[in-house]
Amino acid sequence: MMTTSSLRLRAGLVSIALLAAFLGIWHLATRSTAPVATMSPEYAKLMGLTATQGKSAMPGPLDVGAKLWQHLKRPFYDNGPNDKGLGIQLAYSIARVGTGYLLAVLVAIPLGFLIGMSPLLSKALDPFIQVLKPISPLAWMPLALYTIKDSSISAIFVIFICSIWPMLLNTVFGVASVRKEWVNVARTLEVGTVRRAFTVILPAAAPTILTGMRISIGIAWLVIVAAEMLVGGTGVGYFVWNEWNNLSITNVIIAILLIGIVGMLLDQILARFTRMVTFPE
């Protein structure tokens, strides 16, 4: 007990030290060092701070921190299509991921149950799943745009299609590999198919299903950034692309940081659900 808590404390200290070292090196590397060139004021204005004050093109941690503070103070402002608060952009992305993901849950889990419980369906559908699974979700994008004709729904469709496979395969596997003796217990108690599915197969397969759901949410969050870069309009992916076009590297770095944090939170939520349904044997 004591050793684990002291290990955690030491690990925390090392983490903080590493972060401080990283920020320090970053700061030193982007500090103004280059000699200041003498030039006419008009030319200097054109060239920007990089040339006039020896400022690095890469923002330092202090710039990023200051900018982040601005974003955090006003996360939800809306000044038209190309200038929305980061909070709004993240909310768009999370809403798309949430919708596509929930639709995938609604399809993958019941379908996975059916396939897992029927050896015939399982064999018959296997070739389709094997072919569809390795397709990059972004490859569906043109087809989605062409048939759906709405960029926002197309992004949701891409999320749907990329999150369905891990959930479907894990549900099939979890349902098909429920211990036979547990099923036999239900059979000797004359438990009907529906009640058996809910009282034996679902709890037994739940940890495997949740593991698939956790993999899916990770993939969905990876894909949404790329999808939004393609379809544009709103979302954190579009924000990154737009800020790159504005050459605002500071905002790109902030977006990267927030994408990472939101991804971690989504993963942690699913990890918590997984722990809730896991049973020791």
Partner 1 sequence: MTDKFISIEAIAKRYPGAGGATTTVFENLWLSMARGEFCCVIGHSGCGKTTVLNILAGLDAPSEGAVIVDGQAISGTSLDRAVIFQSHALLPWRTVLGNVAYAVSSKWRNWDRVKVRAHAQTFIDLVGLTGSEHKHPSELSGGMKQRVGIARALSITPKMMLMDEPFSALDALTRGTLQDEVRRICLETGQTAFMITHDVDEAIYLADKIFLMTNGPGAVLAEVVENPLPRDRGRTDLHRHPLYYALRNHIIDFLVTRSKTFAAETPGHDPRNVPLVHIGKPGLSIASNEEQRQTWISGTSPGLTA
DSSP string, 3-62: HHHHHHHHHHHHHHHHHHHHHHHHHHHHSS-SPPPP--HHHHHHH-HHHHS---SS--HH
Residue 193 touching partner 1 (CB under 8 A): no
Residues from 202 through 261 that contact partner 1 (CB under 8 A):
203-204
**By rule CB under 8 A, what string of x and - marks binding of each residue 6-25 to partner 1?**
--------------------
Q: Which of 182, 222, 249, 267 binds partner 1 (CB under 8 A)?
A: 182
Residue 57 CB contacts under 8 Å (≥ 6 apart), including other chains: 50, 249
Q: Which stretch binds partner 1 (CB under 8 A): 16-24, 122-130, 177-185, 222-230?
A: 177-185
Q: Would you count residue 185 as binding partner 1 (CB under 8 A)?
A: yes
Contact, 30 vs 250, CB < 8 A?
no
Do residues 208 and 221 touch, judged by C-beta distance below 8 A? no
| Nearer residue to partner 1 within complex by CB, 44 or 277 | 277
DSSP 199: I
SS3 83: coil
* C-beta of 154 vs 211, nearer to partner 1: 211
- Give the nearer residue to partner 1 in terms of CB position, either 42 or 190: 190
Decide: is 276 part of the binding site for partner 1 (CB under 8 A).
no
Contact call for residues 220 and 193 (beta carbons, < 8 A)? no
Residue 196 CB, nearest distance to partner 1 (Å)? 10
Which residues lie near partner 1 (CB under 8 A)? 179, 181-182, 184-191, 199-200, 203-204, 277, 279-281
